[in-house]
Structure 1
Amino acid sequence: MRTVFLAGAFALAVSSCAPSAQIEPTPPASALPDNARCAGGGVAIDTDFPAGSLANCSIDQAGNVAIILTPEDTPPINCSPWYAFRVHTAQPRDVKVKLTYTACGHRYWPKISVDAKQWENLPQAFVEVSEIAGRDQAEITVTTGTRPLFVSAQEIIAPATYDAWLDGLEDHPELERSLLGKSAQGREIEVIRFGNKSAREQVLLVGRQHPPEVSGALAMFPFVEELLSESDLAKRFRARFQVIAVPLLNPDGVVLGYWRHNTGGVDLNRDWGPFTQPETQLMKGVLDTIAANPDQSLRLLLDFHSTQRDIFYTIPDELPTDPELFTAKWLDRYQEMMPDYEVERDARHEVGRPISKAYAYDTFGVPAITFELGDETDRGLIKRIGKQSAIAMMETLLATPER
């Protein structure tokens, strides 16, 4: 058995750059829930909250928990093994939980919270990972108090979290919030627009195509907030450009705790071009509206995601874009603003690949970028990344010739 050490992962991971998760308060720990997924030995596990997810669980007489984690389809197309559950105990105590993965193995460092608002990483002394049959499995120990304890792969950022965040933005005089459409299960997908309503130049931001990719969401929040700030730069940017932002494209997958897909069994970021799903059809509508309007042109698409490290997936500089060489200039400026941080870029393009980046470039010839944040990137650093990259983006776009 070996303990996994993740550099920089063990400071408090409080979600100070996002609204609270808006999950209903839980009862005192002594009241074990009637809707438990499993119970025994004075311990119970439930997933009765947005993003709660596990395949099955069992608890022995000593209160030791065994949880099985399985993707929504097999084999999974991407190893993003999400889990989120709540631990109830009759009395405060230590609880041992074994996480067994039927595919992929352990990826996300466990986060814990008593209120789904303030989160911290489970200390390294309480997480052990072992390899069984070539796949990492985890054993963790959590300590309950007088309230049930949330344990999750990442902070829980559910649809209500986005609602609270958008509620806080609505007072901005330039912002319009509206319903873009609904998901396959009828959940609302909202869009915000701000800046110059009659602007020719449009900037499109997309978030949360993949349910577990929380760190990307944590970057998108301060990015948008900086574009809406009262700085002289932001005011000049909004005077020239209109921003269209869809922060949560896959609410069904988020609520159901899926590893990758929507409820149609489709990875939304492999459906740009076919547009077979209700969610991606909404994005096609946004892009078609811009394309059909002779007084509008798309200038940039940014799609916020998460992976094992911070990286930008971009169109190669050898391919012409309009604005010309925007990506290189933006990331150079961003690096200047972050001298103690290495900006990493992976530039490639496959014509016709049905992802947002490739579709936007193939269709509009614009810079299109997948903005990836590391799963365990320090949350304070993510907030700084969101703010500084937005400043650099505004400076760079404002320096381009007007269309």
Structure 2
Amino acid sequence: MSAATSPSERRVSARVGAISESATLAVDAKAKALKAAGRPVIGFGAGEPDFPTPGYIVDAAVEACRNPKYHRYTPAGGLPELKAAIAEKTLRDSGYEVDASQVLVTNGGKQAIYEAFAAILDPGDEVIVPAPYWTTYPESIRLAGGVPVEVVADETTGYRVSVEQLEAARTERTKVVLFVSPSNPTGAVYSEPDAEAIGRWAVEHGLWVLTDEIYEHLVYGDAKFTSLPAILPELRDKCIVVNGVAKTYAMTGWRVGWIIGPKDVVKAATNLQSHATSNVSNVAQIAALAAVSGPLDAVAEMRSAFDRRRSLIVRMLNEIDGVLCPEPEGAFYAYPSVKELLGKEIRGKRPATSVELAALILDEAEVAVVPGEAFGTPGYLRLSYALGDDDLVEGVSRLQKLLGEAKD
């Protein structure tokens, strides 16, 4: 080993140095910086509802601020009353009965995902990751010492992978399969029979399943949310559920998520969190308690608005020559293919990748989108439709004008 690469000379560890910045947050930050500089940028980058957190949740947090009880350390794994309420909410919404001892309250869904993988992965263990995937999944797997193995689905299957694809990716090192429905970035939702088939395949081969249910309430049309451990009791001993209040209750900034899983795994993840962060902010936990214990009326209103915007953005995107956008069934993202536009001339440039196309769109149309490379599938763009109707129409109209100029 040369002196230049010796551990004493390396300023950033190889493990952390290999992690890339969150592409979605980077796009959102750039869009906000340009807006602050006076440019009329419209951002489709962040997966964040444009609605305020419901008032009754905010009121609960205000009261918590005044209560000295919440000015001190509390159990690292979460307030007992919140853990109990999450268990009750899970039974109500998913039909999955769990005990409060199976719940760990985390600092948002990202911490939940990392701690879940860290609790069950040893170095070299493989995790099957359906792609397109949310940017954080493979990075969390690598940080935990695991190896992400991508299985790619495209628009021809509605961005849903098959059991046959999963089986082809399975090796003797496979330990976990990731299951996400509704999906970020595609909005894909698996039918109950397809979800059950994947769960039974995992059980057959003794695999763990990590299922992210953060978009459980955001499904549209005939699509239905399916919770794997609810329909497959035999899976529960090797299943970890990740969820949180961010998307359902417009609480992205409050940073409250959770893990539900077997008691030994939750205990191990709790031990990790006790050293990493201690307890989640008590004020945020009380806000989350109000959210999960309260009615779903505000959620229904947001879902109705998202449904309307979903139809609008898909129609407008599909009016652009060279763009193909399947209709998402859940979450609040459109994931159009732009492969036919790559290599074409647009205002004197020929973007060869969706990264280059996204940069051109930002420069020329002042619209921020996330390129498919961030989600493991080049040739696509992700657009969040969790923004105001006027901005949505104006932003996609700019795309129509710019991309409509493409020529061979």
Same fold (TM over 0.5): no
Quick check: which one's helix share is greater?
2
> TM-score, normalised on structure 2?
0.31
Higher normalized contact order (CA 8 Å, seq sep 6+, divided by chain length): 2
> TM-score, normalised on structure 1?
0.31
